[in-house]
Structure 1
Amino acid sequence: MTPKEPTDSEFFILDIGGMTCASCVSRVEKALDKIPGVEAAMVNLATEQARIRVKRGTSTLADIIALVQKTGYEASESSPRGHLNQKTSKSFWANDGLARVLLGFALATPLVLPMLLMPLGIHWSLSGWWQLVLATPIQLILGWRFYKAGYKSLMAGAGNMDLLVAIGTSAAYGLSLYLLLTSGHAHELYFEGSAIIICMVLLGKWLEARAKQQTSEAIRALQKLWPEYAKVLNVEVQLAGSFTPDQYRDLPLDQVLPGDCILVLPGERIPVDGKIIVGNGHVDESLLTGESEPVKKMPQSKVIGGSLNGEGALVVRAEAVGVESVLSKIILLVEEAQTQKASIQKLVDQVSAIFVPTVILIAVITAIANWLYIDSTSIAILRAVSVLVIACPCALGLATPAAIMAGTGVAARFGILIKDPQVLELAHKLDIVAFDKTGTLTIGKPRLLTLLPFNQVSIQTNEILATAAGLQLGSEHPLAKALLDAAKDQQIAAITTVNSKALPGIGIEAIPTAGPFAGHTLRLQSVVSLEGNPNLPLVLEKAQACFDQGQTVSVLMNLGNELDSLNTPIAIIAFGDELKANAKSAVDALHDLGIRTVMLSGDNLSAAQRVSKSIGIDEVFAQIMPGNKAEIIQTLQSGFGSQKHYVAMVGDGVNDAPALAMADVGMAMSTGTDVAMQAAGITLMRGDPTLVADAIDISKKTWSKIRQNLFWAFAFNTIGIPMAALGYLSPMLAGSAMALSSFCVLSNALLLKRWHPKQS
């Protein structure tokens, strides 16, 4: 979970240009950490972004940008809606452009051709001077970027991939030039080695750029959902049935304000979050929620900005625009997840901090050892060059962020927002999933099923309903809405109350201003909160039939008035809530993953067991107070003896927030409260419990890709450096292998894009 920004801090996001490997990331982070007032700084190679939190009044954005530029990298403030699209529009002749790669290979082909013809028995080669003519533009023009970036890193007291390439290719080019000037023999020259290294590195960087764009596809797809303009209706025609172009204005989206009425024609995207006031039809919300079927919308239905209007013109009153919209928040959550670091990345950062100096030292030792053992300066230099080239830590730096970007991106496409990379590291360990019942496994819209008075002969049932409904006026609790809906359906006016007071974990208390209980303090509370009350046996006996049917039972109590202190029950009020149609399949999917399921409920044990048995829940905790949910999660985690269990909590209400935060992995339904979503590491964009197993599945697969990438990145250098030092890899092969390693890591991460939910 990303904490809210403290009020005494400022938060900046920068686009960083020129980073090539994990060492660059480490160097930028170290530079940012030294800035006065910086509280936290995080740099991501795959997104090429830095996120910085600064104590207000210390360092400005201009100061931060200037320091990053002084370190040797480009820096600019990130545009929230333009960053990724700008990256896809690089010049054809840019540093990582395809044209530079093609030009380099065109110049290098005649240099490499003699090596390719030799196995065919054709012995031909260019003269040494022609080799110099072809190799020099590659070395000094196409390869100038390596000299420039390498020099800046050297001046900053650190090394990076560019420095390794610059030193390695310069050694091969310089040795060839020396031999040409002293001996003039073409067969002793190594211009093709330096040229092909530069070409392969440029090809690798171009492939990396292409692959990075694909890992960011999820955010770009979301960004494209924003229309540029909105049709804002004139005030006097807002409720008309049809509209002409002179009755609305096309305004840029950033000029639309809450309260504006927007006309959305068939086939157009809805530009704002709001409520339909005229029209009806089906709206496609698939890219936002993962819901494959269009959703029927009527007047007063809420719509999400970015969703697609199917048929029929709609008039939508704007409620949330810009950064307050659901779409904007989704993009922010996905971006935050993609730029945060998993804790395993700390190991990579520690290695990369000493990697380049270590490689240079190994290359020097290789050169000296080979020169002493073989007594050949040229072979010693070439083997040192191979070490420098193959050891570039690009793959190491991309291994984790590329997998996180691809995994969180594809998850977001199917309505699963993974906000915290820590989730990815814990998901594969999960062995218990705990569900809150109401709103998670059930629809969350209970209905009033039973009202049983306690011997109130002179008081009619409709008067009790009017009184109970009056206590709930203004409440957003599902049971409160059920009472108010029941009164409305029976055309019973709720009696107003005074001194209304919510009692967390108990119920609500107020004094009716009219009716048979006027002036009395009444309390509508759960049965479990009656513990210790002498009327509890009577209440339990009266409510037993409701319990047996799995209903949720409340009791309306009369606490008396200023003259008489009473504590007597007025009526049993029981509610029923339907299970979601896919609740059982959600539990079955978790069982298929070998995960034990638990249900937490405030209902009595028999009612809770009835629900759990129908969908196959393994264990039930019933009659629990909301505040006890976090304690139960902690108990589940401790397990039996010394065995620790990893627990996920799935909920949607305010009272679930402590349990969501306590769990190893918290999953909140977006149909619930904002508090629950802020406390959870995963948000499920539609109230579908089958997404729980899907979220665990994509988290496991993403974590698996991270481990695979890191293994191959470490293994590549562990095997490649000794092979290069011993002469088994020529500089040309080393350059090809280095470029291929980065491409393989990114390609492996991109395999996650093929993931689909099993339950869809």
Structure 2
Amino acid sequence: MNERRADMACSLVLPVDGMTCAACSTRLERVLNKQPGVSEARVSLAGNTASVDYEKGEITASDLARVIAKAGFSVRSEVIDLDINGMTCAACSTRLEKVLSKVSGVESVAVNLATERASITVPVGAVPTETLIDVVKKAGFEARPRVSAKAQREAQAREEQRRTQAELNKLRLAVVLTLPLALPMLFMPFGVDLMLPSLWQFLLATPVQFWIGWRFYDGAFKSLRGGAGNMDVLVVLGTTAAWALSSWVTFFGGAGEALYFEGSAMVITLVLFGKWMEGRAKRNAASAIHALMDLRSDTARVERDGIAMDIPAESVIQNEVVIIRPGERVPVDGRILEGESQLDESLITGEPIPVARGEGELVTGASVNGDGLLKVQATTVGAESTLSRIIRLVEDAQASKAPVQRLVDRISTIFVPVVVVISLVVFLGWWLGAGDPETAFVAAVSVLVIACPCALGLATPTAIMVGTGMAARYGVLIKDAEALEQAHRADTVVFDKTGTLTRGTPGVETCFAVDGDVENLLRIAASAQQGSEHPLAKAVVAESNEKGLALLPVSGFTNHPGRGFGATVDEMKLLIGSRRLMEERDVALTDWAEQAALLESTGHTLVWIADTTASSRLLGYILLSDGVRAGAAEAVADLHCKGLDTVMLTGDNRYGAASIASAIGIDRVIAEVLPGDKAAEVERLRNEGKHVIMVGDGINDAPALAAAGVGMAMGSGTDVAMHTAGITLMRGEPGLVVDAISISHATYHKIRQNLFWALIYNVIAIPLAVSGLLNPVIAGAAMAMSSVSVVSNSLLLKRWRGKGK
């Protein structure tokens, strides 16, 4: 018992953020030591670490991270990506997930069969990559760190090509050795016996079984050693039984007894052909991510010490000046210091029309420069560049598992042992019950060969790979498979107004001053709002700058979230904001309320300005408007055609919101909602039984995006919104919402078709195999075709076309 407890003892060092004093570290140490299964916890304030000794069976690294988060701190995590070789079916990926999950320090694991990739989330520095690679090797697979450097990618491509060629050569040899065994079967129905002597059959079938087919034995041994069964186990059991019985008859049996050399050889050849076809299709399915990687520029021309030189693009450092000549691909994200040009950003955003860029404007890496010479200061490089983040998003989405895939994984883990039991029961039933050992043997082998979970394991990930890749081409970045799967269920789309349905850049139309001094009203309003990032504030300041008004000093700024603010300008205590704020502070609007209501009803926004220095008195208002985005009405009409309800959720006044909604065709308006209440409104819709998609672009939309079934962030919006959302729309076009829902429908439809194809072979063929009516050769062909049909069906998603391109 003591030995067992020693085996379960683990130590883990977790990097902790958020500790500011000794009280923090003491409190966290006390909290950790109270957890069941924790032997001892030591928290270092200086090192910002928590060293925890715990028992593996009672608490996990993920549990410890959650405890630390609940205590008000956070554990920095990193994702280690490994390329995996040797997986053959869903049972392999499921088993490898279990093995890696047991490693001390591992928080979560996602192993994807289609991409042959494992993503392991661990606390920063807590688990060396070499440890994970050793664990993978002990489980019977090969692993290497997933890297992105161009030379290493090329080396991987060469290795992949070499491996593929070797597999093709073995397949060709298998066909050459199998044909003399298989062709005589075609003439048997005509009474022509061209079968080779049994010894010749043995000599042809044996190298196919044990040399060319060795990969199946190797995979089966590793799988069983890891405590689970997979496709290789079924293939090895069936073909070895056929070969062994035929060999016994050849050397020890009597003349005229049945031989199954052609069966064992053809099954292995057909399965190899199926795996080769499957590999081709999988590589094709992953072409989208390779295409994105190929967009990366290999070199960059930089200025160092006044000298222009070419260096590898990945060696550019932040703030370095990069020279981009006409026709070159932009190597980094940056800001233009000198020059102007037209840039083709279609490969990043999907927007086919080149856009003009000049001094001070931002450029995106992988876009193509037009006919101008640009000097660009690098702002984000390496892993933080826009293209790298897009690639990471697509990779993560392709590696993640949809909810339906988790069910498939659970099925595949019990599938193989159940099939082996069925095969044994069938064999005993025919032999002992019907006294027919030959039929018993044929039926048992056919059951083993046909019932392979390979197609089942490929059904979901291959569709997701192609779907997310196609979506990325049209400017729709899908963060995870769950968002892709859930989007098709939506029946309600909730839009934020400003920046989503409208351009988000309002302009001042007119100013009204109670005392008639419009310039002074604009000056003090702009002075109070200088430095603010709010779109309305920017519009007011821009209008005052355009009129050449000198701004006054501002102090005593007080924010009133969702309503406005207060500030002191030129010794006046100003109150600036919505009608609601004025009413709360008893500012009389009686004389102007009717006129204001009329303006608001036409979609305009009014910013009221009052002086509260002595008593609350109205100074005037500024009228602003924000135009509807091009394509918004068409997008809403398309959503209605698909049977979806549309809702506008905004903090603006109900009259302006209703006017915009009417122009666009929105069904329902929820207006005058404070930023903190948007998530509650989304929750209310979900409680009504609706499947909600929330579309937004601002920081204040982030809670609502998180609360929705699927959050969609406009790529023109804030990083916070894009981080929170499950789907990012790379262009500020509402039409991309339709595209995102469309690709979700198409992908989920393919998943259902794939699961049908994966299961229909077994549903039809297993009863035939049990009844003795299915030859092992036909079973092998059907099993191979099930995998090929599933992957090929996923590739049909490449015919999907969005409206965005």
TM over 0.5: yes
The residue that corresponds to 2:728 in the other structure is 683
CA RMSD of the aligned region, Å? 2.2
Q: How does 1:346-385 map to 2 (within 5 A)?
A: 346-385=406-445
In 2: Cα distance, 1:363 partner to 1:536 partner: 87
Asked if 1:23 corresponds to 2:91, the answer is: yes
Picking from 264, 282, 303, the partner of 1:212 is 282
Does the 8 Å contact 1:126/1:186 carry over to 2?
A: no
In 2: Cα distance, 1:536 partner to 1:23 partner: 72
Per the alignment, in what secondary structure is the counterpart of residue 16 of structure 1? strand
Per the alignment, in what secondary structure is the counterpart of residue 237 of structure 2? helix
Per the alignment, in what secondary structure is the counterpart of residue 403 of structure 2? coil
Tell me the CA shift for residue 185 of structure 1. 4.4
**Residue 145 and residue 372 in structure 1: after superposition, are their counterparts in 2 closer, same or farther (change >3 A)?**
same
Picking from 645, 651, 664, the partner of 2:709 is 664
Q: How does 1:453-492 map to 2 (within 5 A)?
A: 453-455=513-515, 460-492=517-549
Per the alignment, in what secondary structure is the counterpart of residue 107 of structure 2? strand
Tell me the CA shift for residue 186 of structure 1. 7.6
In 2: Cα distance, 1:709 partner to 1:122 partner: 41
Per the alignment, in what secondary structure is the counterpart of residue 169 of structure 1? helix
Tell me the CA shift for residue 480 of structure 1. 1.7
**Residue 93 and residue 452 in structure 1: after superposition, are their counterparts in 2 closer, same or farther (change >3 A)?**
closer
**Residue 186 and residue 755 in structure 1: after superposition, are their counterparts in 2 closer, same or farther (change >3 A)?**
farther
Tell me the CA shift for residue 319 of structure 1. 0.8
**Residue 58 and residue 556 in structure 1: after superposition, are their counterparts in 2 closer, same or farther (change >3 A)?**
same
Write out per-residue CA displacement over residues 668-721 of structure 1, whole angstroms, 9 at most, x where no aligned residue: 101011111112111100000011111111111111111221222223223322
In 1: Cα distance, 2:620 partner to 2:180 partner: 95
In 1: Cα distance, 2:257 partner to 2:366 partner: 64
Write out per-residue CA displacement over residues 401-456 of structure 1, whole angstroms, 9 at most, x where no aligned residue: 1111111110011001111322233223222111111111111111011211123x
Residue 180 of structure 2 aligns to which amino acid in structure 1?
A: P
**Residue 544 and residue 93 in structure 1: after superposition, are their counterparts in 2 closer, same or farther (change >3 A)?**
closer
**Residue 596 and residue 362 in structure 1: after superposition, are their counterparts in 2 closer, same or farther (change >3 A)?**
same
In 2: Cα distance, 1:268 partner to 1:99 partner: 41
Asked if 1:194 corresponds to 2:264, the answer is: yes
Tell me the CA shift for residue 572 of structure 1. 0.5
Does the 8 Å contact 1:557/1:568 carry over to 2?
A: yes
In 1: Cα distance, 2:456 partner to 2:795 partner: 16
Write out per-residue CA displacement over residues 487-532 of structure 1, whole angstroms, 9 at most, x where no aligned residue: 12111232232343443212233323xxxxx133323222233343
Per the alignment, in what secondary structure is the counterpart of residue 589 of structure 2? helix
Does the 8 Å contact 1:128/1:184 carry over to 2?
A: no
Per the alignment, in what secondary structure is the counterpart of residue 603 of structure 2? coil
**Residue 472 and residue 493 in structure 1: after superposition, are their counterparts in 2 closer, same or farther (change >3 A)?**
same
Tell me the CA shift for residue 379 of structure 1. 3.2
Flag structure 1 segments of 5+ consecutive residues without an equivalent. Answer: 237-246, 513-517
Tell me the CA shift for residue 121 of structure 1. 4.9
**Residue 479 and residue 235 in structure 1: after superposition, are their counterparts in 2 closer, same or farther (change >3 A)?**
farther
In 1: Cα distance, 2:120 partner to 2:255 partner: 56
The residue that corresponds to 1:637 in the other structure is 686
Picking from 621, 624, 638, the partner of 2:673 is 624
Does the 8 Å contact 2:577/2:607 carry over to 1?
A: yes
In 2: Cα distance, 1:36 partner to 1:604 partner: 54
**Residue 79 and residue 314 in structure 1: after superposition, are their counterparts in 2 closer, same or farther (change >3 A)?**
same
- More deviation, 360-369/615-624: 615-624
The residue that corresponds to 1:729 in the other structure is 774
Q: How does 1:309-324 map to 2 (within 5 A)?
A: 309-324=369-384
Q: How does 1:415-426 map to 2 (within 5 A)?
A: 415-426=475-486
In 2: Cα distance, 1:382 partner to 1:504 partner: 76
Give the aligned length.
732
In 2: Cα distance, 1:402 partner to 1:678 partner: 25
In 1: Cα distance, 2:548 partner to 2:422 partner: 86
Residue 486 of structure 2 aligns to which amino acid in structure 1?
A: L
Residue 407 of structure 2 aligns to which amino acid in structure 1?
A: L
In 2: Cα distance, 1:543 partner to 1:616 partner: 24
TM-score (norm 1): 0.92
Does the 8 Å contact 2:630/2:733 carry over to 1?
A: no
The residue that corresponds to 2:791 in the other structure is 746
Q: How does 1:497-516 map to 2 (within 5 A)?
A: 497-512=554-569
Tell me the CA shift for residue 722 of structure 1. 2.0
Does the 8 Å contact 1:535/1:568 carry over to 2?
A: yes
**Residue 58 and residue 277 in structure 1: after superposition, are their counterparts in 2 closer, same or farther (change >3 A)?**
closer
**Residue 178 and residue 612 in structure 1: after superposition, are their counterparts in 2 closer, same or farther (change >3 A)?**
same
The residue that corresponds to 1:300 in the other structure is 360
Asked if 1:596 corresponds to 2:640, the answer is: no
In 2: Cα distance, 1:575 partner to 1:202 partner: 68
The residue that corresponds to 1:550 in the other structure is 603
Per the alignment, in what secondary structure is the counterpart of residue 90 of structure 1? helix
**Residue 95 and residue 188 in structure 1: after superposition, are their counterparts in 2 closer, same or farther (change >3 A)?**
farther
**Residue 257 and residue 8 in structure 1: after superposition, are their counterparts in 2 closer, same or farther (change >3 A)?**
closer
Higher-RCO chain (CA-CA 8 Å, sequence separation at least 6): 1
Tell me the CA shift for residue 569 of structure 1. 2.5
Picking from 659, 668, 679, the partner of 1:610 is 659
In 2: Cα distance, 1:39 partner to 1:479 partner: 44
Tell me the CA shift for residue 374 of structure 1. 4.1
Tell me the CA shift for residue 551 of structure 1. 0.9
Asked if 1:123 corresponds to 2:193, the answer is: yes
**Residue 91 and residue 128 in structure 1: after superposition, are their counterparts in 2 closer, same or farther (change >3 A)?**
farther
Q: How does 1:641-656 map to 2 (within 5 A)?
A: 644-656=689-701
In 1: Cα distance, 2:371 partner to 2:558 partner: 46
- More deviation, 425-434/200-209: 425-434
The residue that corresponds to 1:241 in the other structure is none
The residue that corresponds to 1:43 in the other structure is 111
Does the 8 Å contact 2:587/2:610 carry over to 1?
A: no
The residue that corresponds to 1:243 in the other structure is none
Residue 738 of structure 1 aligns to which amino acid in structure 2?
A: M
In 2: Cα distance, 1:260 partner to 1:11 partner: 28
Tell me the CA shift for residue 733 of structure 1. 0.7
The residue that corresponds to 2:393 in the other structure is 333
**Residue 446 and residue 125 in structure 1: after superposition, are their counterparts in 2 closer, same or farther (change >3 A)?**
same
In 2: Cα distance, 1:189 partner to 1:700 partner: 50
The residue that corresponds to 1:148 in the other structure is 218
Picking from 573, 578, 581, the partner of 1:521 is 573
Identity percentage of aligned residues: 47
- More deviation, 49-58/659-668: 49-58
In 2: Cα distance, 1:521 partner to 1:375 partner: 103
Asked if 1:717 corresponds to 2:766, the answer is: no
Write out per-residue CA displacement over residues 103-156 of structure 1, whole angstroms, 9 at most, x where no aligned residue: 111111111010123345532121212111211111111111111111111122
Per the alignment, in what secondary structure is the counterpart of residue 46 of structure 1? coil
In 2: Cα distance, 1:531 partner to 1:65 partner: 66
Asked if 1:61 corresponds to 2:129, the answer is: yes
Per the alignment, in what secondary structure is the counterpart of residue 195 of structure 2? coil
Does the 8 Å contact 2:601/2:658 carry over to 1?
A: no
Does the 8 Å contact 2:600/2:656 carry over to 1?
A: yes
**Residue 102 and residue 685 in structure 1: after superposition, are their counterparts in 2 closer, same or farther (change >3 A)?**
same
Tell me the CA shift for residue 52 of structure 1. 1.4
Does the 8 Å contact 2:90/2:456 carry over to 1?
A: yes
